Amino acid sequence: MQPRRTGVDPENLIAEFMTLVSIGSPSRQEGHVAAYIRGVAEELGFEVEEDDAGVALGGDCGNLIVRVPGDERFATVLMMAHMDTVTPAMGINPIREGDRIRSDGTTVLGADDKAGIAGLLHMLGVLSATEETRPPLEIVFTVCEEVGLLGAKALDTSKLKAEFGFAFDSSGALGFAVAQGPAQAKLKAVVHGRSAHAGVAPEKGISAIVVAAEAITQLPLGRINAQTTANIGKISGGQATNIVCDRVEIFAEARSLSPDELAMQRAAMSRVFEETAARHGVTVDLEWQDSYPGLTLHPGTPLRLIVEEAMNSLGITPHFGSTGGGSDANVIAGKGIPVANLAIGYQQIHTLDEWIATDDLVTAAELMLQIVRQCAKSVKV
Ligand SMILES: [Zn+2]
Protein backbone atom coordinates (compact mmCIF):
# COMPACT_ATOMS: atom_id res chain seq x y z
CA MET A 1 0.00 0.00 0.00
CA GLN A 2 1.22 3.48 -0.89
CA PRO A 3 1.75 6.20 1.72
CA ARG A 4 -1.34 8.39 1.96
CA ARG A 5 -1.64 12.12 1.40
CA THR A 6 -2.49 12.43 5.10
CA GLY A 7 1.03 11.26 5.93
CA VAL A 8 -0.06 7.82 7.10
CA ASP A 9 2.20 5.03 5.90
CA PRO A 10 -0.04 1.94 5.75
CA GLU A 11 2.67 -0.73 5.85
CA ASN A 12 4.45 0.86 8.83
CA LEU A 13 1.15 1.24 10.65
CA ILE A 14 0.13 -2.36 9.98
CA ALA A 15 3.53 -3.61 11.17
CA GLU A 16 3.18 -1.59 14.37
CA PHE A 17 -0.32 -2.96 14.89
CA MET A 18 0.95 -6.55 14.46
CA THR A 19 3.66 -5.86 17.06
CA LEU A 20 1.20 -4.29 19.49
CA VAL A 21 -1.33 -7.14 19.37
CA SER A 22 1.49 -9.67 19.84
CA ILE A 23 2.22 -8.08 23.23
CA GLY A 24 -0.40 -9.73 25.44
CA SER A 25 -2.07 -7.24 27.75
CA PRO A 26 -5.00 -8.63 29.71
CA SER A 27 -6.37 -6.25 32.34
CA ARG A 28 -3.89 -5.58 35.16
CA GLN A 29 -1.06 -6.91 32.98
CA GLU A 30 -0.61 -3.95 30.65
CA GLY A 31 3.01 -3.37 31.73
CA HIS A 32 4.69 -4.75 28.62
CA VAL A 33 2.51 -2.86 26.17
CA ALA A 34 2.88 0.29 28.29
CA ALA A 35 6.67 -0.06 28.11
CA TYR A 36 6.42 -0.41 24.33
CA ILE A 37 4.23 2.71 24.04
CA ARG A 38 6.57 4.65 26.31
CA GLY A 39 9.53 3.60 24.16
CA VAL A 40 7.91 4.79 20.95
CA ALA A 41 6.71 8.10 22.41
CA GLU A 42 10.01 8.90 24.12
CA GLU A 43 11.95 8.03 20.98
CA LEU A 44 9.85 10.68 19.24
CA GLY A 45 10.84 13.11 21.98
CA PHE A 46 7.58 13.29 23.89
CA GLU A 47 7.20 13.32 27.65
CA VAL A 48 5.43 10.29 29.11
CA GLU A 49 3.91 10.17 32.58
CA GLU A 50 2.54 7.09 34.32
CA ASP A 51 -0.03 7.61 37.07
CA ASP A 52 -0.50 5.40 40.12
CA ALA A 53 -3.62 3.60 38.87
CA GLY A 54 -1.59 0.38 38.70
CA VAL A 55 -1.00 0.46 42.43
CA ALA A 56 -4.60 1.38 43.18
CA LEU A 57 -5.99 -1.37 40.93
CA GLY A 58 -3.49 -4.11 41.67
CA GLY A 59 -2.07 -4.07 38.15
CA ASP A 60 1.48 -3.99 36.86
CA CYS A 61 1.28 -0.44 35.48
CA GLY A 62 -0.85 2.69 35.55
CA ASN A 63 -2.41 4.90 32.90
CA LEU A 64 0.05 6.59 30.54
CA ILE A 65 -0.22 10.23 29.61
CA VAL A 66 1.84 11.35 26.60
CA ARG A 67 2.12 15.13 26.41
CA VAL A 68 2.61 16.55 22.96
CA PRO A 69 3.45 20.25 22.92
CA GLY A 70 1.61 22.39 20.42
CA ASP A 71 0.52 25.90 19.61
CA GLU A 72 -1.13 27.19 22.76
CA ARG A 73 -3.48 29.43 20.87
CA PHE A 74 -5.49 26.26 20.46
CA ALA A 75 -7.33 24.32 23.13
CA THR A 76 -5.48 21.25 24.41
CA VAL A 77 -6.99 18.09 22.97
CA LEU A 78 -7.32 14.72 24.72
CA MET A 79 -7.06 11.54 22.65
CA MET A 80 -7.62 8.12 24.22
CA ALA A 81 -7.31 4.38 23.75
CA HIS A 82 -7.10 1.55 26.29
CA MET A 83 -4.16 -0.81 26.71
CA ASP A 84 -5.90 -3.88 28.13
CA THR A 85 -7.79 -6.52 26.21
CA VAL A 86 -10.23 -9.25 27.16
CA THR A 87 -8.89 -12.81 27.42
CA PRO A 88 -7.60 -15.16 26.06
CA ALA A 89 -4.93 -12.57 25.42
CA MET A 90 -1.57 -14.28 25.79
CA GLY A 91 0.38 -15.71 22.86
CA ILE A 92 -1.59 -13.77 20.28
CA ASN A 93 -0.46 -14.71 16.81
CA PRO A 94 -1.91 -12.17 14.37
CA ILE A 95 -2.46 -13.39 10.83
CA ARG A 96 -2.67 -11.01 7.88
CA GLU A 97 -4.80 -12.59 5.24
CA GLY A 98 -5.80 -10.60 2.17
CA ASP A 99 -7.26 -7.34 3.39
CA ARG A 100 -7.85 -8.51 6.95
CA ILE A 101 -5.95 -9.22 10.14
CA ARG A 102 -7.27 -11.87 12.53
CA SER A 103 -5.94 -14.04 15.36
CA ASP A 104 -5.09 -17.70 14.80
CA GLY A 105 -8.39 -18.61 16.43
CA THR A 106 -7.01 -19.53 19.86
CA THR A 107 -7.05 -15.99 21.29
CA VAL A 108 -8.77 -12.69 20.74
CA LEU A 109 -6.98 -10.39 18.29
CA GLY A 110 -6.99 -7.39 20.61
CA ALA A 111 -7.76 -4.86 17.87
CA ASP A 112 -10.02 -3.61 20.67
CA ASP A 113 -8.19 -1.41 21.42
CA LYS A 114 -4.73 -1.94 19.89
CA ALA A 115 -6.07 -0.49 16.64
CA GLY A 116 -6.62 2.71 18.63
CA ILE A 117 -3.12 2.56 20.12
CA ALA A 118 -1.46 1.79 16.77
CA GLY A 119 -3.27 4.70 15.13
CA LEU A 120 -2.33 7.14 17.89
CA LEU A 121 1.34 6.11 17.91
CA HIS A 122 1.48 6.35 14.13
CA MET A 123 -0.18 9.76 14.33
CA LEU A 124 2.52 10.90 16.77
CA GLY A 125 5.17 9.78 14.30
CA VAL A 126 3.58 11.70 11.45
CA LEU A 127 3.10 14.85 13.56
CA SER A 128 6.65 14.80 14.89
CA ALA A 129 8.01 14.56 11.36
CA THR A 130 6.29 17.72 10.14
CA GLU A 131 6.31 21.38 11.01
CA GLU A 132 2.55 21.69 10.74
CA THR A 133 0.68 23.68 13.33
CA ARG A 134 -1.05 21.54 15.91
CA PRO A 135 -2.82 22.07 19.21
CA PRO A 136 -1.21 20.71 22.38
CA LEU A 137 -2.24 17.09 22.79
CA GLU A 138 -2.66 14.83 25.77
CA ILE A 139 -2.71 11.21 24.66
CA VAL A 140 -4.00 8.94 27.40
CA PHE A 141 -3.60 5.18 27.31
CA THR A 142 -5.70 3.64 30.05
CA VAL A 143 -5.52 0.37 31.95
CA CYS A 144 -8.39 -1.91 33.02
CA GLU A 145 -11.04 -0.64 30.61
CA GLU A 146 -12.41 -4.11 30.07
CA VAL A 147 -13.01 -4.78 33.76
CA GLY A 148 -15.23 -1.80 34.53
CA LEU A 149 -13.47 1.26 33.07
CA LEU A 150 -11.31 1.22 36.19
CA GLY A 151 -8.28 2.98 34.70
CA ALA A 152 -10.37 5.90 33.47
CA LYS A 153 -12.12 6.05 36.84
CA ALA A 154 -8.75 6.17 38.61
CA LEU A 155 -7.39 8.85 36.26
CA ASP A 156 -6.92 12.20 37.95
CA THR A 157 -8.28 14.52 35.27
CA SER A 158 -7.06 17.57 37.18
CA LYS A 159 -3.66 16.61 35.73
CA LEU A 160 -5.04 17.25 32.26
CA LYS A 161 -5.33 20.58 30.50
CA ALA A 162 -7.55 19.17 27.74
CA GLU A 163 -10.83 20.95 27.18
CA PHE A 164 -12.35 18.18 25.09
CA GLY A 165 -11.32 14.88 23.64
CA PHE A 166 -11.72 11.90 21.38
CA ALA A 167 -11.74 8.22 22.31
CA PHE A 168 -11.06 5.60 19.67
CA ASP A 169 -12.89 2.64 21.07
CA SER A 170 -16.33 2.12 19.62
CA SER A 171 -17.79 -0.77 17.71
CA GLY A 172 -19.42 -0.04 14.39
CA ALA A 173 -18.22 0.78 10.92
CA LEU A 174 -15.73 3.59 10.41
CA GLY A 175 -17.68 6.80 10.42
CA PHE A 176 -19.75 5.78 13.41
CA ALA A 177 -19.59 8.04 16.42
CA VAL A 178 -21.50 7.61 19.65
CA ALA A 179 -24.19 10.29 19.85
CA GLN A 180 -25.84 8.67 22.83
CA GLY A 181 -24.46 6.06 25.20
CA PRO A 182 -26.23 4.76 28.27
CA ALA A 183 -25.45 5.32 31.92
CA GLN A 184 -25.03 2.09 33.85
CA ALA A 185 -25.88 1.21 37.43
CA LYS A 186 -24.99 -2.05 39.15
CA LEU A 187 -26.89 -3.85 41.88
CA LYS A 188 -25.72 -6.33 44.46
CA ALA A 189 -28.74 -7.87 46.19
CA VAL A 190 -28.27 -10.17 49.17
CA VAL A 191 -31.31 -12.19 50.19
CA HIS A 192 -31.14 -13.36 53.79
CA GLY A 193 -33.18 -16.50 54.45
CA ARG A 194 -33.15 -18.70 57.52
CA SER A 195 -31.16 -21.92 57.63
CA ALA A 196 -32.51 -25.19 58.98
CA HIS A 197 -31.90 -28.90 58.51
CA ALA A 198 -33.60 -29.74 55.27
CA GLY A 199 -34.66 -33.22 56.42
CA VAL A 200 -35.23 -32.79 60.14
CA ALA A 201 -36.91 -29.38 60.34
CA PRO A 202 -37.43 -27.78 56.94
CA GLU A 203 -40.43 -25.82 58.31
CA LYS A 204 -38.05 -23.87 60.52
CA GLY A 205 -36.16 -22.56 57.52
CA ILE A 206 -36.87 -19.96 54.84
CA SER A 207 -34.96 -20.65 51.66
CA ALA A 208 -33.16 -17.63 50.29
CA ILE A 209 -32.97 -19.51 46.98
CA VAL A 210 -36.75 -19.76 46.76
CA VAL A 211 -37.16 -16.07 47.63
CA ALA A 212 -34.50 -15.06 45.10
CA ALA A 213 -36.06 -17.24 42.40
CA GLU A 214 -39.48 -15.72 42.97
CA ALA A 215 -38.05 -12.19 42.83
CA ILE A 216 -36.10 -12.92 39.66
CA THR A 217 -39.14 -14.20 37.78
CA GLN A 218 -40.88 -10.90 38.52
CA LEU A 219 -38.03 -8.49 37.78
CA PRO A 220 -38.26 -6.36 34.65
CA LEU A 221 -35.25 -7.66 32.69
CA GLY A 222 -33.81 -7.75 29.17
CA ARG A 223 -34.78 -5.00 26.79
CA ILE A 224 -37.21 -2.83 28.67
CA ASN A 225 -37.60 -0.40 25.75
CA ALA A 226 -35.45 1.33 23.13
CA GLN A 227 -33.58 3.25 25.81
CA THR A 228 -33.33 0.88 28.72
CA THR A 229 -31.98 -2.62 29.41
CA ALA A 230 -31.46 -4.73 32.53
CA ASN A 231 -29.77 -8.03 33.28
CA ILE A 232 -28.93 -10.44 36.06
CA GLY A 233 -25.40 -11.57 35.36
CA LYS A 234 -24.45 -13.68 38.33
CA ILE A 235 -26.08 -15.49 41.22
CA SER A 236 -24.55 -17.52 43.99
CA GLY A 237 -25.62 -19.09 47.23
CA GLY A 238 -26.23 -22.27 49.14
CA GLN A 239 -23.95 -24.86 50.70
CA ALA A 240 -25.45 -28.35 50.54
CA THR A 241 -28.70 -30.13 49.70
CA ASN A 242 -29.41 -30.87 53.38
CA ILE A 243 -29.35 -27.22 54.44
CA VAL A 244 -32.13 -24.73 53.79
CA CYS A 245 -30.16 -21.89 52.17
CA ASP A 246 -29.90 -18.71 54.19
CA ARG A 247 -28.03 -16.43 51.79
CA VAL A 248 -28.11 -15.72 48.07
CA GLU A 249 -26.16 -13.01 46.29
CA ILE A 250 -27.46 -11.63 43.03
CA PHE A 251 -25.50 -9.30 40.76
CA ALA A 252 -27.49 -7.27 38.25
CA GLU A 253 -27.23 -4.16 36.14
CA ALA A 254 -29.48 -1.60 34.49
CA ARG A 255 -28.60 0.78 31.67
CA SER A 256 -30.47 3.60 30.07
CA LEU A 257 -29.93 6.45 27.67
CA SER A 258 -32.32 8.42 29.89
CA PRO A 259 -31.35 9.32 33.48
CA ASP A 260 -35.03 9.41 34.47
CA GLU A 261 -35.68 5.98 33.04
CA LEU A 262 -32.61 4.59 34.74
CA ALA A 263 -33.91 5.88 38.07
CA MET A 264 -37.32 4.31 37.38
CA GLN A 265 -35.75 0.99 36.38
CA ARG A 266 -33.65 0.92 39.54
CA ALA A 267 -36.68 1.67 41.66
CA ALA A 268 -38.72 -1.05 39.93
CA MET A 269 -36.01 -3.65 40.50
CA SER A 270 -35.54 -2.65 44.14
CA ARG A 271 -39.29 -2.80 44.74
CA VAL A 272 -39.57 -6.38 43.45
CA PHE A 273 -36.80 -7.56 45.76
CA GLU A 274 -38.20 -5.75 48.77
CA GLU A 275 -41.80 -6.86 48.24
CA THR A 276 -40.82 -10.47 47.61
CA ALA A 277 -38.61 -10.59 50.70
CA ALA A 278 -41.37 -9.03 52.80
CA ARG A 279 -43.90 -11.62 51.60
CA HIS A 280 -41.61 -14.37 52.85
CA GLY A 281 -40.73 -12.63 56.11
CA VAL A 282 -37.04 -12.22 55.25
CA THR A 283 -34.79 -9.28 54.45
CA VAL A 284 -32.84 -8.25 51.40
CA ASP A 285 -29.88 -5.85 51.27
CA LEU A 286 -29.75 -3.79 48.10
CA GLU A 287 -26.55 -2.01 47.13
CA TRP A 288 -26.75 0.11 43.98
CA GLN A 289 -23.66 1.66 42.47
CA ASP A 290 -23.41 4.11 39.61
CA SER A 291 -20.91 2.47 37.26
CA TYR A 292 -20.62 5.26 34.74
CA PRO A 293 -22.65 8.19 33.43
CA GLY A 294 -24.20 8.47 29.98
CA LEU A 295 -22.45 9.93 26.96
CA THR A 296 -23.88 12.42 24.50
CA LEU A 297 -22.61 14.17 21.41
CA HIS A 298 -25.25 16.66 20.42
CA PRO A 299 -25.72 18.01 16.88
CA GLY A 300 -24.12 21.39 16.31
CA THR A 301 -21.65 21.19 19.19
CA PRO A 302 -18.04 22.12 18.36
CA LEU A 303 -16.88 18.61 19.23
CA ARG A 304 -19.32 17.04 16.81
CA LEU A 305 -18.47 19.55 14.08
CA ILE A 306 -14.78 18.64 14.38
CA VAL A 307 -15.67 14.95 13.98
CA GLU A 308 -17.86 15.70 10.95
CA GLU A 309 -15.26 17.87 9.25
CA ALA A 310 -12.46 15.38 9.85
CA MET A 311 -14.56 12.54 8.45
CA ASN A 312 -15.68 14.59 5.48
CA SER A 313 -12.06 15.42 4.64
CA LEU A 314 -11.44 11.68 4.24
CA GLY A 315 -14.65 11.00 2.32
CA ILE A 316 -16.16 9.11 5.24
CA THR A 317 -19.86 9.61 5.83
CA PRO A 318 -20.39 10.45 9.51
CA HIS A 319 -22.99 8.34 11.25
CA PHE A 320 -24.04 9.42 14.72
CA GLY A 321 -26.05 6.87 16.64
CA SER A 322 -26.67 5.29 19.98
CA THR A 323 -24.85 2.39 21.56
CA GLY A 324 -25.74 0.03 24.37
CA GLY A 325 -22.17 -0.12 25.64
CA GLY A 326 -20.07 2.02 27.93
CA SER A 327 -16.45 3.06 27.54
CA ASP A 328 -13.73 5.19 29.07
CA ALA A 329 -15.29 8.12 27.20
CA ASN A 330 -18.35 7.93 29.48
CA VAL A 331 -16.17 8.18 32.57
CA ILE A 332 -14.02 11.06 31.33
CA ALA A 333 -17.06 12.97 30.08
CA GLY A 334 -18.59 12.41 33.51
CA LYS A 335 -15.52 14.11 34.99
CA GLY A 336 -16.19 17.21 32.93
CA ILE A 337 -14.15 16.77 29.74
CA PRO A 338 -16.53 16.18 26.80
CA VAL A 339 -15.32 13.19 24.78
CA ALA A 340 -16.48 11.89 21.40
CA ASN A 341 -16.15 8.11 21.07
CA LEU A 342 -15.45 6.98 17.52
CA ALA A 343 -15.51 3.60 15.78
CA ILE A 344 -12.19 2.40 14.40
CA GLY A 345 -13.38 -0.61 12.43
CA TYR A 346 -12.65 -3.59 14.69
CA GLN A 347 -15.13 -6.44 14.27
CA GLN A 348 -16.51 -9.27 16.43
CA ILE A 349 -14.62 -8.05 19.45
CA HIS A 350 -14.48 -10.11 22.63
CA THR A 351 -14.50 -13.32 20.55
CA LEU A 352 -11.85 -15.58 19.04
CA ASP A 353 -13.13 -14.45 15.62
CA GLU A 354 -12.15 -10.81 16.18
CA TRP A 355 -10.69 -9.15 13.08
CA ILE A 356 -10.03 -5.81 11.47
CA ALA A 357 -9.73 -4.75 7.85
CA THR A 358 -6.31 -3.27 7.06
CA ASP A 359 -8.07 -0.44 5.20
CA ASP A 360 -10.01 0.45 8.34
CA LEU A 361 -6.89 0.36 10.48
CA VAL A 362 -5.30 2.83 8.09
CA THR A 363 -8.35 5.06 7.79
CA ALA A 364 -8.74 5.17 11.58
CA ALA A 365 -5.19 6.53 11.89
CA GLU A 366 -5.93 9.05 9.17
CA LEU A 367 -9.05 10.10 11.05
CA MET A 368 -6.97 10.75 14.18
CA LEU A 369 -4.60 12.95 12.21
CA GLN A 370 -7.39 14.82 10.49
CA ILE A 371 -9.06 15.45 13.84
CA VAL A 372 -5.85 17.04 15.14
CA ARG A 373 -5.62 19.15 11.98
CA GLN A 374 -9.26 20.16 12.33
CA CYS A 375 -8.64 21.17 15.95
CA ALA A 376 -5.85 23.46 14.70
CA LYS A 377 -8.36 25.42 12.64
CA SER A 378 -10.26 26.99 15.49
CA VAL A 379 -8.21 29.42 17.56
CA LYS A 380 -9.12 29.52 21.24
CA VAL A 381 -10.67 32.82 22.31
ZN1 LIG B 1 -12.43 -1.38 23.88
Catalytic residue among 16, 84, 138, 366: 84
* Distance from Cα 249 to the centre of ligand 1, integer Å: 29
* Distance from Cα 141 to the centre of ligand 1, integer Å: 12
Residue 297 has pLDDT above 70, yes or no: yes
Q: What's the pLDDT score for residue 3?
A: 85
For the domain with range 183-292, which CATH number is right: 3.10.200.10, 3.30.465.10, 3.40.50.1820, 3.30.70.360?
A: 3.30.70.360
Residue 17 has pLDDT above 90, yes or no: yes
Which phi-psi region, left, alpha or beta, contains residue 315 (left: φ > 0; alpha: ψ -120 to 50)? left
Residue 357 has pLDDT above 70, yes or no: yes
* Distance from Cα 126 to the centre of ligand 1, integer Å: 24
Q: Is residue 51 annotated as a catalytic residue, yes or no?
A: no
Res. 380 pLDDT band, cuts 50 70 90: low
Examine residue 113 and say whether the peptide bond preceding it is cis (omega within 30 degrees of 0). Answer: yes
Report the pLDDT averaged over residues 137-142. 98
pLDDT digits (tens, 9 = 90+) for 27-58: 999 999 999 999 999 999 999 999 999 999 99
Examine residue 69 and say whether the peptide bond preceding it is cis (omega within 30 degrees of 0). Answer: no
pLDDT digits (tens, 9 = 90+) for 322-333: 999 899 999 999
Q: Is residue 249 annotated as a catalytic residue, yes or no?
A: no
What is the pTM assigned to this prediction? 0.91
Encoded amino acid at 81, one letter: A
Q: What's the pLDDT score for residue 155?
A: 98
Q: What's the pLDDT score for residue 378?
A: 74
Mean pLDDT, the chain, rounded, equals: 96
pLDDT digits (tens, 9 = 90+) for 244-272: 999 999 999 999 999 999 999 999 999 99
Map out the domains of the chain as residue ranges: 10-180+294-375, 183-292
Q: What percent of the chain clears pLDDT 70, i.e. is strictly above it?
A: 99
* Distance from Cα 67 to the centre of ligand 1, integer Å: 22
β-bridge pairing 137-142 and 77-82 = parallel
* Distance from Cα 85 to the centre of ligand 1, integer Å: 7
Q: What's the pLDDT score for residue 2?
A: 83
Catalytic residue among 145, 146, 169, 366: 145
Residue 379 has pLDDT above 80, yes or no: no
Res. 93 pLDDT band, cuts 50 70 90: very high
DSSP H helical ranges for 219-301: 259-279
* Distance from Cα 111 to the centre of ligand 1, integer Å: 8
Report the pLDDT averaged over residues 100-125. 98
* Distance from Cα 210 to the centre of ligand 1, integer Å: 38
Provide DSSP, 23-68. Answer: S--BTT--HHHHHHHHHHHHHTT-EEEE-THHHHHT-S---EEEEE
Give the C-alpha separation, 270 to 279, whole Å.
Answer: 14
Residue 119 has pLDDT above 90, yes or no: yes
Q: What's the pLDDT score for residue 223?
A: 97
What homologous superfamily does CATH list for 10-180+294-375? Zn peptidases (3.40.630.10)
* Distance from Cα 30 to the centre of ligand 1, integer Å: 14
Residue 166 has pLDDT above 60, yes or no: yes
Give the C-alpha separation, 304 to 297, whole Å.
Answer: 6
Residue 381 has pLDDT above 70, yes or no: no
